[in-house]
Copies of this chain bind each other. A is one copy, B any other.
Protein backbone atom coordinates (compact mmCIF):
# COMPACT_ATOMS: atom_id res chain seq x y z
CA UNK A 1 0.00 0.00 0.00
CA UNK A 2 1.19 3.44 -0.91
CA UNK A 3 -0.79 5.26 1.75
CA UNK A 4 -2.98 4.42 4.73
CA UNK A 5 -6.67 4.00 3.89
CA UNK A 6 -7.60 6.14 6.92
CA UNK A 7 -6.64 9.16 4.82
CA UNK A 8 -9.46 8.29 2.43
CA UNK A 9 -12.18 8.16 5.08
CA UNK A 10 -14.74 10.86 4.33
CA UNK A 11 -16.36 12.33 7.46
CA UNK A 12 -19.04 14.16 5.49
CA UNK A 13 -20.09 11.10 3.49
CA UNK A 14 -20.20 8.89 6.59
CA UNK A 15 -22.38 11.44 8.43
CA UNK A 16 -24.66 11.86 5.43
CA UNK A 17 -25.21 8.10 5.22
CA UNK A 18 -26.26 8.04 8.90
CA UNK A 19 -28.86 10.70 8.16
CA UNK A 20 -30.18 8.75 5.16
CA UNK A 21 -30.38 5.52 7.17
CA UNK A 22 -32.18 7.38 9.97
CA UNK A 23 -34.93 8.12 7.47
CA UNK A 24 -35.91 4.43 7.38
CA UNK A 25 -38.14 4.18 10.45
CA UNK A 26 -37.74 7.82 11.54
CA UNK A 27 -39.79 8.71 14.62
CA UNK A 28 -41.38 12.09 15.31
CA UNK A 29 -38.91 12.73 18.13
CA UNK A 30 -35.85 12.38 15.91
CA UNK A 31 -35.15 8.75 16.72
CA UNK A 32 -35.53 5.50 14.81
CA UNK A 33 -37.93 2.55 15.02
CA UNK A 34 -36.52 -0.04 12.61
CA UNK A 35 -37.58 -3.48 13.75
CA UNK A 36 -35.78 -6.58 12.51
CA UNK A 37 -37.11 -7.85 9.15
CA UNK A 38 -39.63 -5.01 8.93
CA UNK A 39 -40.41 -2.88 5.89
CA UNK A 40 -37.97 -0.26 7.24
CA UNK A 41 -35.24 -2.88 7.70
CA UNK A 42 -35.71 -3.92 4.04
CA UNK A 43 -35.41 -0.27 2.96
CA UNK A 44 -32.16 0.06 4.92
CA UNK A 45 -30.80 -3.21 3.46
CA UNK A 46 -31.56 -2.07 -0.09
CA UNK A 47 -29.86 1.27 0.51
CA UNK A 48 -26.79 -0.48 1.88
CA UNK A 49 -26.66 -2.88 -1.07
CA UNK A 50 -26.88 0.09 -3.48
CA UNK A 51 -23.97 1.86 -1.79
CA UNK A 52 -21.94 -1.36 -1.87
CA UNK A 53 -22.76 -2.03 -5.54
CA UNK A 54 -21.31 1.36 -6.45
CA UNK A 55 -18.00 0.14 -4.99
CA UNK A 56 -18.24 -3.25 -6.65
CA UNK A 57 -19.20 -5.12 -3.46
CA UNK A 58 -21.16 -8.35 -3.93
CA UNK A 59 -24.29 -8.62 -1.79
CA UNK A 60 -25.62 -11.87 -0.36
CA UNK A 61 -28.10 -13.07 2.26
CA UNK A 62 -27.63 -16.18 4.36
CA UNK A 63 -30.61 -18.29 5.51
CA UNK A 64 -30.70 -16.44 8.86
CA UNK A 65 -31.23 -13.11 7.11
CA UNK A 66 -27.70 -11.82 7.72
CA UNK A 67 -26.65 -9.47 4.91
CA UNK A 68 -23.07 -9.49 3.52
CA UNK A 69 -21.35 -7.09 1.10
CA UNK A 70 -18.11 -8.63 -0.12
CA UNK A 71 -15.03 -6.82 -1.34
CA UNK A 72 -13.33 -9.57 -3.31
CA UNK A 73 -9.66 -9.85 -2.28
CA UNK A 74 -6.76 -10.50 -4.66
CA UNK A 75 -6.36 -14.02 -3.30
CA UNK A 76 -9.76 -15.79 -3.28
CA UNK A 77 -8.33 -18.72 -1.27
CA UNK A 78 -7.71 -16.57 1.79
CA UNK A 79 -10.29 -16.71 4.59
CA UNK A 80 -12.19 -13.41 4.64
CA UNK A 81 -12.39 -10.74 7.31
CA UNK A 82 -15.83 -9.71 8.57
CA UNK A 83 -16.67 -6.25 9.81
CA UNK A 84 -20.07 -4.80 10.69
CA UNK A 85 -22.89 -4.68 13.22
CA UNK A 86 -26.70 -4.47 12.79
CA UNK A 87 -29.38 -2.32 11.14
CA UNK A 88 -32.34 -3.05 13.44
CA UNK A 89 -33.18 -0.67 16.29
CA UNK A 90 -35.16 -0.52 19.50
CA UNK A 91 -38.79 0.72 19.17
CA UNK A 92 -37.71 4.16 20.40
CA UNK A 93 -34.08 3.86 19.37
CA UNK A 94 -31.49 6.30 18.09
CA UNK A 95 -29.65 7.01 14.85
CA UNK A 96 -26.34 5.31 15.75
CA UNK A 97 -26.78 2.09 17.73
CA UNK A 98 -25.88 -0.70 15.28
CA UNK A 99 -26.04 1.21 12.04
CA UNK A 100 -22.76 2.97 12.89
CA UNK A 101 -20.85 -0.33 12.86
CA UNK A 102 -22.25 -1.19 9.43
CA UNK A 103 -21.63 2.26 7.91
CA UNK A 104 -18.15 2.53 9.46
CA UNK A 105 -17.29 -0.86 7.90
CA UNK A 106 -18.61 0.33 4.53
CA UNK A 107 -16.63 3.57 4.83
CA UNK A 108 -13.48 1.65 5.77
CA UNK A 109 -13.91 -0.69 2.80
CA UNK A 110 -14.54 2.27 0.50
CA UNK A 111 -11.30 3.84 1.77
CA UNK A 112 -9.42 0.56 1.30
CA UNK A 113 -10.69 0.23 -2.28
CA UNK A 114 -9.27 3.68 -2.98
CA UNK A 115 -5.74 2.66 -1.96
CA UNK A 116 -5.80 -0.73 -3.69
CA UNK A 117 -7.47 -4.10 -3.48
CA UNK A 118 -6.30 -6.13 -0.41
CA UNK A 119 -5.05 -9.71 -0.57
CA UNK A 120 -7.84 -11.06 1.66
CA UNK A 121 -11.57 -10.49 1.03
CA UNK A 122 -13.39 -8.18 3.44
CA UNK A 123 -17.12 -8.52 4.03
CA UNK A 124 -19.32 -5.81 5.48
CA UNK A 125 -22.03 -7.55 7.50
CA UNK A 126 -25.41 -6.51 8.94
CA UNK A 127 -26.50 -9.17 11.44
CA UNK A 128 -30.21 -10.01 11.69
CA UNK A 129 -32.13 -8.95 14.83
CA UNK A 130 -29.45 -7.88 17.25
CA UNK A 131 -31.84 -5.90 19.42
CA UNK A 132 -34.32 -8.67 20.14
CA UNK A 133 -37.16 -6.21 20.52
CA UNK A 134 -39.34 -7.73 17.81
CA UNK A 135 -38.16 -11.33 18.20
CA UNK A 136 -36.65 -12.24 21.59
CA UNK A 137 -33.88 -12.83 22.40
CA UNK A 138 -31.59 -10.70 20.28
CA UNK A 139 -28.24 -11.33 18.52
CA UNK A 140 -30.20 -13.91 16.59
CA UNK A 141 -28.41 -13.71 13.24
CA UNK A 142 -24.91 -13.85 14.71
CA UNK A 143 -25.93 -16.68 17.06
CA UNK A 144 -27.08 -18.78 14.12
CA UNK A 145 -24.09 -17.83 11.91
CA UNK A 146 -21.66 -18.96 14.59
CA UNK A 147 -23.59 -22.10 15.49
CA UNK A 148 -24.44 -20.91 19.00
CA UNK A 149 -28.07 -21.47 18.05
CA UNK A 150 -29.50 -23.59 15.24
CA UNK A 151 -31.54 -22.10 12.42
CA UNK A 152 -34.43 -24.37 13.34
CA UNK A 153 -34.32 -22.97 16.83
CA UNK A 154 -35.14 -19.41 15.76
CA UNK A 155 -37.57 -19.93 12.88
CA UNK A 156 -40.65 -20.44 15.04
CA UNK A 157 -40.04 -17.48 17.35
CA UNK A 158 -43.03 -15.13 17.07
CA UNK A 159 -43.40 -11.40 17.34
CA UNK A 160 -46.28 -9.75 19.19
CA UNK A 161 -48.60 -10.18 16.21
CA UNK A 162 -47.86 -13.89 15.97
CA UNK A 163 -45.64 -13.51 12.90
CA UNK A 164 -42.79 -16.04 12.98
CA UNK A 165 -39.16 -15.38 12.08
CA UNK A 166 -39.71 -17.87 9.24
CA UNK A 167 -42.54 -15.80 7.76
CA UNK A 168 -40.69 -12.53 8.25
CA UNK A 169 -37.53 -13.94 6.62
CA UNK A 170 -39.46 -15.24 3.62
CA UNK A 171 -41.07 -11.85 3.29
CA UNK A 172 -37.67 -10.11 3.29
CA UNK A 173 -36.21 -12.61 0.81
CA UNK A 174 -39.16 -12.05 -1.53
CA UNK A 175 -38.68 -8.29 -1.43
CA UNK A 176 -34.93 -8.66 -2.06
CA UNK A 177 -35.01 -11.46 -4.63
CA UNK A 178 -32.13 -9.87 -6.54
CA UNK A 179 -29.78 -10.56 -3.61
CA UNK A 180 -28.25 -14.07 -3.95
CA UNK A 181 -28.62 -16.56 -1.11
CA UNK A 182 -25.48 -18.16 0.36
CA UNK A 183 -25.30 -21.22 2.65
CA UNK A 184 -25.14 -20.62 6.40
CA UNK A 185 -21.77 -20.03 8.12
CA UNK A 186 -18.16 -20.12 6.96
CA UNK A 187 -14.60 -19.69 8.13
CA UNK A 188 -13.74 -16.17 9.25
CA UNK A 189 -10.19 -14.80 9.65
CA UNK A 190 -11.27 -12.15 12.14
CA UNK A 191 -14.30 -10.03 13.03
CA UNK A 192 -14.23 -6.38 14.04
CA UNK A 193 -17.24 -4.40 15.15
CA UNK A 194 -17.41 -0.64 15.64
CA UNK A 195 -20.19 0.68 17.87
CA UNK A 196 -21.20 3.73 19.91
CA UNK A 197 -20.21 3.18 23.53
CA UNK A 198 -23.74 3.33 24.99
CA UNK A 199 -22.19 4.60 28.21
CA UNK A 200 -20.53 7.83 29.39
CA UNK A 201 -16.95 6.58 29.94
CA UNK A 202 -15.24 7.80 26.72
CA UNK A 203 -16.92 11.20 26.76
CA UNK A 204 -16.08 11.77 30.42
CA UNK A 205 -12.50 10.60 29.90
CA UNK A 206 -12.03 12.67 26.71
CA UNK A 207 -11.05 9.59 24.72
CA UNK A 208 -12.24 9.21 21.12
CA UNK A 209 -11.84 5.48 20.68
CA UNK A 210 -12.48 2.69 23.19
CA UNK A 211 -10.56 -0.58 22.75
CA UNK A 212 -13.09 -3.12 23.98
CA UNK A 213 -11.45 -5.82 26.07
CA UNK A 214 -14.59 -7.87 26.70
CA UNK A 215 -18.37 -8.02 27.13
CA UNK A 216 -20.21 -8.50 30.42
CA UNK A 217 -22.37 -11.60 30.82
CA UNK A 218 -26.12 -11.48 30.35
CA UNK A 219 -28.97 -13.74 31.41
CA UNK A 220 -32.54 -13.23 30.32
CA UNK A 221 -35.69 -14.71 31.79
CA UNK A 222 -39.38 -14.69 31.08
CA UNK A 223 -41.64 -14.87 34.12
CA UNK A 224 -45.26 -15.90 33.66
CA UNK A 225 -47.56 -15.22 36.60
CA UNK A 226 -50.90 -16.98 36.30
CA UNK A 227 -53.83 -15.80 38.40
CA UNK A 228 -57.51 -15.57 37.63
CA UNK A 229 -59.45 -12.77 35.94
CA UNK A 230 -62.24 -11.38 38.11
CA UNK A 231 -64.50 -8.35 38.46
CA UNK A 232 -62.73 -5.40 40.09
CA UNK A 233 -65.90 -4.35 41.87
CA UNK A 234 -67.06 -7.63 43.31
CA UNK A 235 -64.15 -10.05 43.83
CA UNK A 236 -63.09 -10.02 47.49
CA UNK A 237 -59.41 -9.69 48.28
CA UNK A 238 -59.25 -13.03 50.03
CA UNK A 239 -60.59 -14.75 46.92
CA UNK A 240 -58.53 -12.87 44.36
CA UNK A 241 -55.63 -14.36 42.42
CA UNK A 242 -54.43 -11.03 41.06
CA UNK A 243 -51.51 -11.68 38.69
CA UNK A 244 -50.40 -8.03 38.70
CA UNK A 245 -50.46 -7.74 42.49
CA UNK A 246 -48.33 -10.92 42.65
CA UNK A 247 -45.97 -9.58 39.99
CA UNK A 248 -45.49 -6.32 41.89
CA UNK A 249 -44.60 -8.33 45.03
CA UNK A 250 -42.20 -10.51 43.02
CA UNK A 251 -40.48 -7.57 41.31
CA UNK A 252 -40.13 -5.68 44.60
CA UNK A 253 -38.51 -8.76 46.17
CA UNK A 254 -36.19 -9.36 43.20
CA UNK A 255 -35.09 -5.71 43.24
CA UNK A 256 -34.16 -6.05 46.90
CA UNK A 257 -32.47 -9.44 46.49
CA UNK A 258 -30.37 -8.42 43.47
CA UNK A 259 -29.37 -5.02 44.90
CA UNK A 260 -25.61 -4.44 44.79
CA UNK A 261 -24.18 -1.38 46.47
CA UNK A 262 -21.27 -1.23 43.99
CA UNK A 263 -23.75 -1.03 41.11
CA UNK A 264 -21.89 -3.59 39.00
CA UNK A 265 -25.06 -5.58 38.46
CA UNK A 266 -27.56 -4.41 35.84
CA UNK A 267 -31.09 -5.60 36.57
CA UNK A 268 -33.93 -4.48 34.29
CA UNK A 269 -37.52 -5.42 33.65
CA UNK A 270 -38.07 -3.73 30.31
CA UNK A 271 -41.14 -5.56 29.11
CA UNK A 272 -44.30 -6.41 31.02
CA UNK A 273 -47.67 -7.46 29.62
CA UNK A 274 -50.93 -7.65 31.56
CA UNK A 275 -53.86 -9.85 30.48
CA UNK A 276 -56.63 -8.95 29.81
CA UNK A 277 -55.38 -5.42 30.65
CA UNK A 278 -58.78 -3.82 31.20
CA UNK A 279 -59.32 -1.15 33.88
CA UNK A 280 -62.03 -3.02 35.80
CA UNK A 281 -60.77 -6.58 35.54
CA UNK A 282 -58.46 -8.17 38.12
CA UNK A 283 -55.48 -9.27 35.96
CA UNK A 284 -55.60 -12.97 35.12
CA UNK A 285 -52.02 -13.21 33.84
CA UNK A 286 -48.85 -11.15 33.69
CA UNK A 287 -45.71 -11.88 31.68
CA UNK A 288 -42.51 -9.99 32.27
CA UNK A 289 -38.95 -10.24 30.99
CA UNK A 290 -35.82 -9.92 33.13
CA UNK A 291 -32.50 -8.66 31.74
CA UNK A 292 -29.65 -9.37 34.18
CA UNK A 293 -25.99 -8.52 33.49
CA UNK A 294 -22.73 -8.65 35.40
CA UNK A 295 -19.03 -8.63 34.39
CA UNK A 296 -18.16 -11.49 36.78
CA UNK A 297 -19.17 -15.06 35.87
CA UNK A 298 -19.52 -16.32 39.42
CA UNK A 299 -21.69 -13.43 40.58
CA UNK A 300 -23.84 -13.56 37.46
CA UNK A 301 -24.42 -17.28 37.94
CA UNK A 302 -25.35 -16.83 41.60
CA UNK A 303 -27.80 -13.98 40.87
CA UNK A 304 -29.35 -15.81 37.93
CA UNK A 305 -29.91 -18.88 40.07
CA UNK A 306 -31.69 -16.81 42.73
CA UNK A 307 -34.43 -15.58 40.40
CA UNK A 308 -36.69 -18.59 40.22
CA UNK A 309 -36.79 -19.23 44.00
CA UNK A 310 -37.68 -15.58 44.72
CA UNK A 311 -40.46 -15.66 42.11
CA UNK A 312 -41.94 -18.82 43.63
CA UNK A 313 -41.70 -17.50 47.17
CA UNK A 314 -43.57 -14.26 46.41
CA UNK A 315 -46.23 -15.51 43.99
CA UNK A 316 -48.92 -15.58 46.70
CA UNK A 317 -52.07 -17.32 45.41
CA UNK A 318 -50.78 -17.26 41.80
CA UNK A 319 -48.83 -19.87 39.87
CA UNK A 320 -45.47 -18.79 38.49
CA UNK A 321 -43.40 -20.18 35.61
CA UNK A 322 -39.83 -18.96 35.13
CA UNK A 323 -38.15 -19.63 31.77
CA UNK A 324 -34.46 -18.91 31.33
CA UNK A 325 -34.29 -17.61 27.77
CA UNK A 326 -30.54 -17.15 27.52
CA UNK A 327 -27.44 -17.38 29.72
CA UNK A 328 -24.31 -15.83 28.25
CA UNK A 329 -21.26 -15.72 30.48
CA UNK A 330 -18.82 -12.77 30.23
CA UNK A 331 -16.52 -12.89 27.19
CA UNK A 332 -12.93 -11.59 26.71
CA UNK A 333 -11.47 -10.52 23.35
CA UNK A 334 -7.98 -11.75 22.28
CA UNK A 335 -5.23 -9.30 23.36
CA UNK A 336 -3.41 -9.49 19.98
CA UNK A 337 -6.23 -7.96 18.00
CA UNK A 338 -6.87 -5.33 20.68
CA UNK A 339 -3.16 -4.42 20.43
CA UNK A 340 -3.54 -4.01 16.69
CA UNK A 341 -6.38 -1.48 17.19
CA UNK A 342 -4.42 0.36 19.89
CA UNK A 343 -1.44 0.67 17.51
CA UNK A 344 -3.59 2.00 14.65
CA UNK A 345 -5.21 4.63 16.89
CA UNK A 346 -1.82 5.62 18.20
CA UNK A 347 -0.38 6.05 14.67
CA UNK A 348 -3.35 8.26 13.77
CA UNK A 349 -3.01 10.37 16.92
CA UNK A 350 -6.56 9.43 17.98
CA UNK A 351 -6.96 9.40 21.78
CA UNK A 352 -8.00 5.99 23.08
CA UNK A 353 -8.50 3.93 26.22
CA UNK A 354 -9.40 0.37 27.10
CA UNK A 355 -13.04 -0.16 27.99
CA UNK A 356 -15.32 -3.01 29.00
CA UNK A 357 -18.63 -3.43 27.18
CA UNK A 358 -21.65 -3.38 29.41
CA UNK A 359 -23.95 -4.04 26.47
CA UNK A 360 -24.16 -7.27 24.48
CA UNK A 361 -23.10 -7.22 20.84
CA UNK A 362 -22.91 -9.62 17.90
CA UNK A 363 -19.14 -9.68 18.54
CA UNK A 364 -19.97 -11.80 21.59
CA UNK A 365 -20.92 -14.73 19.38
CA UNK A 366 -18.26 -14.11 16.71
CA UNK A 367 -15.60 -14.34 19.43
CA UNK A 368 -16.51 -18.04 19.67
CA UNK A 369 -15.40 -18.82 16.11
CA UNK A 370 -12.66 -16.30 15.24
CA UNK A 371 -10.38 -13.62 16.70
CA UNK A 372 -12.75 -10.78 17.47
CA UNK A 373 -12.50 -7.18 18.60
CA UNK A 374 -14.65 -4.12 19.02
CA UNK A 375 -13.98 -0.42 19.03
CA UNK A 376 -16.25 2.15 20.61
CA UNK A 377 -16.78 5.82 19.85
CA UNK A 378 -18.36 8.26 22.33
CA UNK A 379 -22.12 8.56 22.72
CA UNK A 380 -23.29 11.86 24.27
CA UNK A 381 -24.04 11.48 28.00
CA UNK A 382 -24.23 7.72 27.47
CA UNK A 383 -27.88 8.10 26.35
CA UNK A 384 -28.84 5.18 24.12
CA UNK A 385 -31.84 2.96 23.33
CA UNK A 386 -33.47 6.35 23.30
CA UNK A 387 -34.50 8.71 20.52
CA UNK A 388 -32.14 11.34 21.92
CA UNK A 389 -29.04 9.16 21.29
CA UNK A 390 -26.30 11.30 19.70
CA UNK A 391 -22.68 11.19 18.46
CA UNK A 392 -20.50 13.69 16.60
CA UNK A 393 -19.46 13.43 12.94
CA UNK A 394 -15.78 13.71 13.86
CA UNK A 395 -15.89 10.94 16.48
CA UNK A 396 -17.71 8.66 14.06
CA UNK A 397 -15.09 9.39 11.39
CA UNK A 398 -12.20 8.85 13.82
CA UNK A 399 -13.52 5.37 14.60
CA UNK A 400 -13.90 4.60 10.88
CA UNK A 401 -10.30 5.72 10.26
CA UNK A 402 -8.92 3.38 12.92
CA UNK A 403 -11.14 0.63 11.55
CA UNK A 404 -9.90 1.18 7.97
CA UNK A 405 -6.25 0.89 8.95
CA UNK A 406 -6.85 -2.18 11.14
CA UNK A 407 -8.84 -3.94 8.41
CA UNK A 408 -6.22 -3.11 5.79
CA UNK A 409 -3.48 -4.49 8.02
CA UNK A 410 -5.41 -7.71 8.78
CA UNK A 411 -6.31 -8.13 5.10
CA UNK A 412 -2.67 -8.07 3.92
Q: Which residues of A contact B (CB under 8 A)?
A: 90-92, 131-133, 136-138, 197-199, 216, 218, 220, 228-239, 242, 244-245, 248-249, 251-252, 255, 263, 266, 268-284, 289, 291, 293, 358-360, 382-387
Q: Is the pair A384, B252 in contact by a Cβ cutoff of 8 Å?
A: no
Q: Is the pair A279, B289 in contact by a Cβ cutoff of 8 Å?
A: yes
Given contacts A279-B270, A280-B291, contact A231 B91 (CB under 8 A): no
> Which of B216, B238, B270 is in CB contact (< 8 Å) with A280?
B270
Determine the distance from Cα of A359 to Cα of B248 in the docked complex, in whole angstroms.
Answer: 25
Determine the distance from Cα of A220 to Cα of B279 in the docked complex, in whole angstroms.
Answer: 9
Q: Is the pair A234, B359 in contact by a Cβ cutoff of 8 Å?
A: yes
CB contacts (< 8 Å) of A266 on chain B: these are 232-235, 237
Shortest distance in angstroms between A156's beta carbon and chain B's nearest beta carbon? 18
Given contacts A138-B280, A220-B279, A278-B133, contact A198 B233 (CB under 8 A): yes
Interface of A is mostly: loop
Determine the distance from Cα of A137 to Cα of B289 in the docked complex, in whole angstroms.
Answer: 30
Determine the distance from Cα of A255 to Cα of B273 in the docked complex, in whole angstroms.
Answer: 20
CB contacts (< 8 Å) of A136 on chain B: these are 279
What 8 pairs between A and B have smallest CB-CB spacing?
A: A232-B268, A233-B359, A133-B278, A234-B358, A91-B276, A199-B234, A279-B289, A231-B385
CB contacts (< 8 Å) of A277 on chain B: these are 91, 270-273
Q: Is the pair B281, A270 in contact by a Cβ cutoff of 8 Å?
A: yes
Q: Is the pair A248, B238 in contact by a Cβ cutoff of 8 Å?
A: no
Q: Is the pair A91, B242 in contact by a Cβ cutoff of 8 Å?
A: no
Given contacts A236-B263, A263-B237, A278-B271, contact A284 B231 (CB under 8 A): no
Considering the complex, give the chain B residue whose CB is closest to the CB of A197.
Answer: B234
Shortest distance in angstroms between A201's beta carbon and chain B's nearest beta carbon? 9
CB contacts (< 8 Å) of A387 on chain B: these are 229
Task: Beyond A199-B231, A232-B293, list 10 extra A-B contacts (CB 8 Å).
Answer: A92-B229, A92-B281, A199-B235, A230-B385, A248-B252, A252-B252, A270-B274, A271-B274, A272-B274, A282-B385
CB contacts (< 8 Å) of A131 on chain B: these are 278, 280
Shortest distance in angstroms between A239's beta carbon and chain B's nearest beta carbon? 8
Determine the distance from Cα of A90 to Cα of B135 in the docked complex, in whole angstroms.
Answer: 29
28 A–B contact pairs at CB < 8 A? A90-B276, A90-B280, A91-B276, A131-B280, A137-B279, A138-B280, A220-B279, A228-B383, A229-B385, A230-B385, A231-B359, A231-B385, A231-B386, A232-B268, A233-B359, A234-B382, A242-B268, A245-B255, A248-B248, A248-B255, A249-B252, A252-B252, A268-B282, A270-B281, A271-B274, A271-B277, A272-B272, A278-B385
